[in-house]
Chain A
């Protein structure tokens, strides 16, 4: 198989999307209700896509594993959403947002896609406001913006610290409006287990009704995967418990290529793990680093309370290593630095995997009141979780897996290598390169869902297709495969819950394919993952009863896919012999320990092809060309 053309329209960057829009084919309004689209996932990307396609008049079937579409994990996004509206009159523009995103991604994303994203950012804000999203306002009633994550303009729109929630509820309500209008149907507590391919095109899905256990078949003219990211492969992450790779992975097994799977973002400011039993890591907004100072004791094993450690025995490692950006170094840099000091045995907290984020000086200089106004709600949240008061004792933080830049390979139309199968939002690989900037994930998910797939999928639907019935033999084959996978899980008959294996996988992934990677470590990880997989398939136990509500079966099924994904991530990390963004290979660093890109060999996307359970995945490369930005080394010294 050859990697298909990315279908980037010719012409100047600024006009590519309009040119595409002007030329794409249309389905007449009267013919739309006969064309059906399946949307998997109801996060920002899925809900906005489903709502938009249904509003155009297409028949939409939407699926989510949660009990309501409103619970998708986009809801947890805190900070904000970028748009180049330049309300602050700073000279912000589409070009600047484009350039920042390209640079933030360490020049590993497609120019045409990123430009389109920047271009659509303004429409997203308009759309959200029209839906009643209560963005923060200035005193005159105008929209408020703030700066975020290492850019020099204030282009981030926000609703307190719950921007993701408000945007998702906007998209959710738009979807529910279409449900009420009869254009869309939402199947909640349904999990997609396979994509059905008829004559080379995605024409349906096999889903499991999580309440009854029934395996259902749904046919359509196109399938959109908006199933989110896969950082739960690390077991502990900021993702929701249910976030999983299953939908994307099953598509991958059918021939959809998986691009840059090793690009994952480890967010620097999370509450550290407190014990083995822990199920989830909680993110604390990056904004805390504006006033908090990050440090560890200079001496390893120093177990004095932080307040008793004198100034000259404190190691403010970010300030020392990056004097100009200091505590505000970008996410990938700050995360790696925390790992390095903890590896050196300087970490604090019960696990030794934590660093202090100290507000003592900020409180002394600016007063407690000012700190409270800025961060009061975050301090409260921290205290609620840890039981410690950050006004009196420094916070402890540690990086945590947060976002997957990698995902299913898609072309400019967001179509995967399987015709008729689209991937949007975090599920695709497209716009963030090797590192995502803050407040860009919401922007991308909504650009994909509101403004891109409604056109590209409609374009796909113009072709004449024979209608497919769920009695087609392709559905039989797919259902058989799904059933036999479930049977296999049910029949292991071991003694351990899936979370045991998941936890082991997570430890391996975090140690060897996390913030810092090297060839021997990755090789080791591949061996260890193989062993965990073997143990999984010999010692797993799930609750009996496949034709009923069975959470342990759901979970085991997801873990079985994570185990396969983990291997692919390590292979990808191994093959990419350079450091870029979130992918840091210790063999490839500058003299002062910074990421060393190799643009000669790796200014490209690696898309992996599945070769069956026994075959080795085959990489395909898409060369990236940079005509509108200059490749430069990122420096934050």
Chain B
């Protein structure tokens, strides 16, 4: 395994496998997000219920939020391997070309040429995304623990958050369109008979992921999704304030 990692093909394989894991996660994440489309639905929005369900998953076999943390650990590991592999390969590849001679573009897609850029921007976005909706650190708009619908609704009333998320989604699209094709090739799953299908498949899957994610901020911003009920905690606080 160590030898495998040391070789260019081995590293690429690791990058491809972790890429596959991340794409898989993206699909699940997107499907989860789509719970928002049910709207505020009374006392507990469906997406809040879903978030809670994620935390309780596996109980009592696992501790509270145990499954979530396992997934987080896998994701973190994947991201680290993905980035390490890519960066190491990047250095190798740079050394293999004489410094002053960029290879002319003959027929390669432009997405394939900006994988590094799109990747770096995506990594930055992911950090921001976690700070906003997971740790609730970026509280420009009101954020509350375990109140996903409320948080999303408020954030996506602001045009700049909508813009940031849409730009990030375009980056994801750019990254995945080459990435998905590339991982199939790297894993050696391609064949002349299948390649056309794989190319189309990569593009389609990319589109599905991008559109699926984009629905949420767009629908909130356009007002097609209703405002949430004032959160219970707020009501209590107000009530407390009143009685106090």
Q: Classify A-B as touching or not with yes or no (CB < 8 A).
A: no
